[in-house]
Amino acid sequence: MDFEANLAPYAARSAASRGRRFAEPAPASRTEFQRDRDRIIHSTAFRRLEYKTQVFVNHEGDLFRTRLTHSIEVAQIARSTARNLRLNEDLVEAISLAHDLGHTPFGHAGQEALDACMKEYGGFEHNLQSLRVVDQLEEHYGAFDGLNLMFETREGILKHCSTSDAKTLGEVGQRFLDKKQPTLEAQLANLADEIAYNNHDIDDGLRSGLLTTGQLDEVDFYARHRTEVERAYPGITGRRAIHETIRRMINALIVDLINTSKARIESTQLKSIEDVRNAPPMIAFSAEMNREAAQLKHFLRHNLYQHYQVNRMTSKARRIIRELFEAFMREPRLLPPDYQTGLRDGATADQMRAQARKVADYIAGMTDRYAMREFRRLFTVEEI
């Protein structure tokens, strides 16, 4: 069966892929991108996302989003949008499910802290770490390290990359040097991520009590849809009103994204993936929707992400990451054997860098609760 027969000519296809780093026999009953998706879902790093922070640390409540639930929501938005644009749903789903595999515990606060710790050793960036997870760190197969994903999946995972890092990554980093675009599926996964986190952060912020509907009425996009809900369902209140409002916001963003992207594709007359790579970004919101999305991001940054109660937790998170890193670098024998490089006194800069990267791998792979447990084990006398 040809699973990709109805795709647009500029969509990614398994048969036209740049392939895997290590050759494998073709799958018998699924496409190569379906195989990628399945490998990601069965990976250790994917399971760990269940206990990694999105905004709220896992133990703060059972109903807040985690990196896992966020990734599933991104995949749902991306896949339904891809179908409307006749893009490869399996590829966009694989990218969406893998895009946060390299995230540290404690969300962006954890990444910032680990990046600061790694400043002397090449830094830390979660997109690069996600690629490192699927290329090297997962241990499932006898023939190779990592998951051996298709080039287009790996390319989509690597959303951002500095020129200096791109030079070290070979073919998957070349587009950053050549100033070319990734597949439309990669572009779509990136914006589906934005749609998901902006809207579920509103939901989680309201559920936590850190945001109020009165505050959100300052945001034109929210206020307009809340008014529509109240007009359609007089007397509606509580969680039902919130869900109905957010549902309409997500729908409006997706419809705008589909219509704007279709218009761009048609005006550019794309015929192939090579046309996609040489064109400006094709998957985009309209100018008006960009304005409204920017207002929403500004509101969330100042009223949720910088809320004093969130800041208290992120301050603790930075301390946990920093002190774990310093302890492991000072005494690498505290690490599990697989993360020790045999560092000794008088080590060279390259040896120090290699050990630091191992420490970063270990910390980035932790869930929130495991990081807190490791902190107690190392620094609390009562813990063993």
Q: Indicate whether 155 belongs to any domain.
A: yes
Paired with 217 in beta bridges are none
Tokens of 304: 């949720």
Domain identity same for 215 and 325: no
Question: Total domain count for the chain?
Answer: 2
CATH number at residue 224: 1.10.3210.10
Q: Domain ends where: 274, 290, 308?
A: 308
Model pLDDT, residue 380: 85
Domain identity same for 267 and 337: no
Domain identity same for 66 and 171: yes
Question: 3-state DSSP call for residue 206?
Answer: helix
Model pLDDT, residue 3: 73
- Counting as low any pLDDT under 70, the low residues of the chain are 1, 54-63, 382-384
**Phi, psi for residue 167 in degrees, rounded to 5:** -65, -20
CA distances from 373 to 11, 64, 331, 368 (A): 45, 21, 18, 9
384 vs 378: CA distance, rounded Å: 8
Model pLDDT, residue 383: 58
DSSP type of residue 15: G
Asked if 82 and 188 touch (Cβ cutoff 8 Å), the reply is yes
Tokens of 207: 């559920």
Domain identity same for 22 and 147: yes
DSSP-derived secondary structure for 58-115: GGG-SSS-BHHHHHHHHHHHHHHHHHHHT--HHHHHHHHHHTTTTPPTTHHHHHHHHH
Q: Indicate whether 6 belongs to any domain.
A: no
223 vs 299: CA distance, rounded Å: 13
Helices 220-232/287-300 angle, 10° precision: 100
Nearest residue to 153 (alpha-carbon basis) of 131, 180, 174, 136: 131
Q: Where are the beta strands (DSSP E) in 318-358?
A: none
Model pLDDT, residue 64: 75
Model pLDDT, residue 150: 98
Neighbours of 23 (CB within 10 A): 8
Q: Indicate whether 384 belongs to any domain.
A: no
271 vs 145: CA distance, rounded Å: 36
Domain identity same for 241 and 332: no
Model pLDDT, residue 107: 87
Tokens of 341: 């490089």
Model pLDDT, residue 83: 97
CA angle (267, 270, 273) in 5-degree steps: 150
Q: Domain ends where: 261, 293, 308?
A: 308
Model pLDDT, residue 1: 61
Model pLDDT, residue 236: 95
360 vs 131: CA distance, rounded Å: 14
Q: Indicate whether 9 belongs to any domain.
A: no
DSSP type of residue 20: B
Domain identity same for 109 and 257: yes
Q: Indicate whether 84 belongs to any domain.
A: yes
Model pLDDT, residue 256: 98
Asked if 7 and 91 touch (Cβ cutoff 8 Å), the reply is no
Domain identity same for 327 and 203: no
Let me know if 171 is exposed, middle or buried by CB neighbors in 10 A (0-12, 13-18, 19+): exposed
Domain identity same for 290 and 345: no
Let me know if 41 is exposed, middle or buried by CB neighbors in 10 A (0-12, 13-18, 19+): middle
Q: Indicate whether 24 belongs to any domain.
A: yes
Q: Domain ends where: 267, 290, 308?
A: 308
Domain identity same for 298 and 319: no
Let me know if 99 is exposed, middle or buried by CB neighbors in 10 A (0-12, 13-18, 19+): buried
Domain identity same for 304 and 318: no
Model pLDDT, residue 2: 73
Asked if 173 and 167 touch (Cβ cutoff 8 Å), the reply is yes
Q: Indicate whether 72 belongs to any domain.
A: yes
Q: Indicate whether 7 belongs to any domain.
A: no
Domain identity same for 216 and 354: no
Provide the residue range defining the domain that includes 375: 309-379
Model pLDDT, residue 36: 97
Tokens of 369: 């609760």
Domain identity same for 298 and 325: no
pTM exceeding the 0.85 threshold for the entire prediction: yes
Helices 238-268/287-300 angle, 10° precision: 140
